[in-house]
Amino acid sequence: MIAEINWGDLSAERFLSEYWQKKPLLIRNAFPDFEPCISADELAGLACEEDIESRLIETDPNNGDWSLEHGPFAEDRFASLGAKPWTLLVQAVDHWVPEVAPLMQAFDFIPSWRRDDLMISYASDGGGVGPHYDNYDVFLLQAEGVRRWEFGGLYGEDSPRRENTPVMILPVWHAEESFDLHPGDMLYLPPRVGHNGVGMGDGCMTWSIGFRAPSHAEILQGLSSHLNDSLSSDLRYEDPDLSIPDNPGEIDAQAIQRVRKALSQYLNDDALLANWLGRAMTDPKYPDLAGGDHDWTQAEVDEQSAEGATVYLNEGARLAFHRFSEDHLVLFADGQSHDLYAPAAITFACEICAQGQANLSPETELSALVTSLLNQGSVYLED
């Protein structure tokens, strides 16, 4: 069952128009009677796994020094933690714990291709990662215990950072607002808003739902790389309207216009931009972990279709689509694109993007699509 946010006097529509990427919002009792589906011991167990990204940050209250360790951790590491405040952070828990899916779907009022991952942090009394800022939107859901959040001010790459420390910390911190969050409370923070979270007592667990936001540099680099794979080297700068220059060393306004004209034909190409954006925003967070555990054939998929099998989205898989016309849709799955024209395949793509599951039906293009998705590890089958 999909979880729902208790907006109180707000609504998802009002949130998007008044708060999203504009200003912070505290939502008390956002998830009434919230109970985390993962315990502190289970979170520590994930941090011991080779394939799972995790960090352990300790603070020395006497001198303010910070230490940072990267996982995987030995099983006895957490038993050896002393009196120093500490925080354990585990990335992409939604990739490994399918039980968190209903909570993640509560954020479907934001396009799912914008969603990055669920990070869970567990802190001792006084534990935290220090005052900092992020370049992405984040919802901070208190799962267990109490965390005090201070926030305020906008920061960027030119903001000073504390020197000689392994974690990014703002050296001067002046909070504008402060709230204690209890289980079920949630704080939304737009990009670049400074914030500092501190565990108030032991047993503080916070779930952070973050969103992807490529930088302009990443957009330009990614689009350039995408174009580079398809453009002929015969396409060159051209100046058939050239006239004799006053100074042979001058790059005049006409030269700039020619470059702009050459670039505009690509920037105004909606199909090209859609194909790049779809591939980029569904690119897997951990590509080395992608891939299925069985080499499926289309005949095998057809057999499953005849038995009424259901296709499910794998944890960590990223899917999105773009509709080019009523009878042409492109499904993007983990950085790959699939052109679809058959009604059954188009319906399937829309359903699995919206619901995380869809039924198989005996249709050639659909079975070919599902075979490909199975073999790249984006989906799995169940009878």
Given 149, 183, 211, the domain boundary residue is 211
Select from 72, 68, 36 the least CA-distant residue to 54. 72
Same domain, 198 and 294: no
Whether 174 and 73 map to the same domain: the answer is yes
Residue that the structure tokens 């995408």 belong to: 226
* Residue 276, domain member (yes or no): no
Pairwise CA distance, residues 47 & 78, whole Å: 10
Does residue 299 share a domain with residue 198? no
Chain position carrying tokens 């737009």: 190
Task: Retrieve residue 75's tokens.
Answer: 């099983």
Question: 349 CB contacts (<8 Å, ≥6 apart)?
Answer: 319, 321, 329, 331, 338, 340, 369
**CA distance from start to end of the chain:** 20
Same domain for 180 and 44 = yes
Judgement on whether residues 192 and 333 belong to the same structural domain of the protein: no
Spatial contact of 280 and 334, defined as CB atoms under 8 Å apart: no
| DSSP code of residue 314 | P
Q: Give yes or no: residues 186 and 300 share one domain.
A: no
What length does the chain have?
383
In a domain, 366, yes or no: yes
Distances (CA, A) of 163 to 21, 66, 218: 29, 11, 27
Are 115 and 153 in contact by the 8 Å Cβ rule? The answer is no
Q: Do 36 and 134 have their domain in common?
A: yes
197 shares its domain with 305: no
Does some domain include residue 377? yes
* CA 266 – CA 264 distance, rounded (Å): 5
Provide the pLDDT for residue 65: 86
Q: Point out the domain boundary residue: 211, 233, 256.
A: 211
Distance CA 90, CA 64 (A): 23
In three-state form (DSSP H/G/I as H, E/B as E, the rest C), the secondary structure along 170-197 is: CCCCCCCEEEEECCCCEEEECCCEEEEE
Return the number of other C-beta atoms located less than 10 Å from residue 91's C-beta: 23
Round to whole Å and give the CA distance between 40 and 124: 11
Domain shared by 207 and 85, yes or no: yes
Q: How far apart are CA 218 and CA 241, in angstroms?
A: 34
Q: How many independent structural domains does the chain possess?
A: 2
Q: What global pTM score does this model have?
A: 0.93
The CATH number covering residue 170 comes to 2.60.120.650
Write the CATH number for 315. Answer: 3.40.366.30
Q: Give CA–CA dist 205/36, Å, rounded.
A: 9
The whole-number pLDDT of residue 172 equals 87
d(CA 14, CA 154): 23
User: What's the pLDDT score for residue 46?
Assistant: 98
pLDDT in the model for residue 292: 65
Question: Which element (helix H / strand E) includes 324?
Answer: strand 319-325
With tokens 């808003």, the residue in question is 193
Q: With respect to residue 264, please indicate whether it lies within any of the assigned structural domains.
A: no
Residue 135 lies in domain: 12-211
Spatial contact of 366 and 343, defined as CB atoms under 8 Å apart? no
Residue 272 identity: L
The answer to whether residues 238 and 258 touch, using CB atoms and an 8 Å cutoff, is yes
Q: What is the pLDDT of residue 2?
A: 66
- Separation between Cα atoms, residue 348 and residue 360, nearest integer Å: 8
The values of phi and psi at residue 256, to 5°, are: -65, -40
User: Is 198 strand, coil or helix?
Assistant: strand
Among residues 187, 211, 235, the one where a domain terminates is: 211
Q: What are phi and psi of 273, to 5 degrees?
A: -65, -40
Tokens of 33: 């009677």
pLDDT tens-place values along the chain, 383 residues long = 568 999 999 999 999 999 999 999 999 999 999 999 999 999 999 999 999 999 999 998 788 789 999 999 999 999 888 888 999 999 999 999 999 988 999 999 999 999 999 999 999 999 999 999 999 999 999 999 999 999 999 999 999 888 888 888 998 899 999 999 999 999 999 999 999 999 999 999 999 999 999 999 999 999 999 999 889 999 999 999 999 999 999 999 999 999 999 999 999 999 999 999 999 999 998 887 666 667 899 999 999 998 889 999 998 899 999 999 999 999 999 999 999 999 999 999 999 999 999 999 989 999 999 999 999 999 999 86
How many C-beta atoms lie closer than 10 Å to residue 136's C-beta?
A: 15
* Residue 43 and residue 156 share a domain: yes
- C-alpha closest to that of 115 among 28, 39, 213, 30: 213
Answer yes or no: is 141 within a domain: yes
Instruction: Note whether residue 271 is domain-resident.
Output: no
Q: Which two tokens stand for residue 376?
A: 């790249």
Are the CB atoms for 118 and 93 separated by under 8 Å? yes
In a domain, 230, yes or no: no
Q: Decide: 147 and 26 in contact? Cβ < 8 Å.
A: no
Q: From CA 163, how far away is CA 173, in angstroms rounded?
A: 15
Percent helix / strand / coil, the chain, rounded to 5: 30, 25, 45
Q: How many CB atoms lie within 10 A of CB 354?
A: 14
Residue 148 lies in a domain: yes
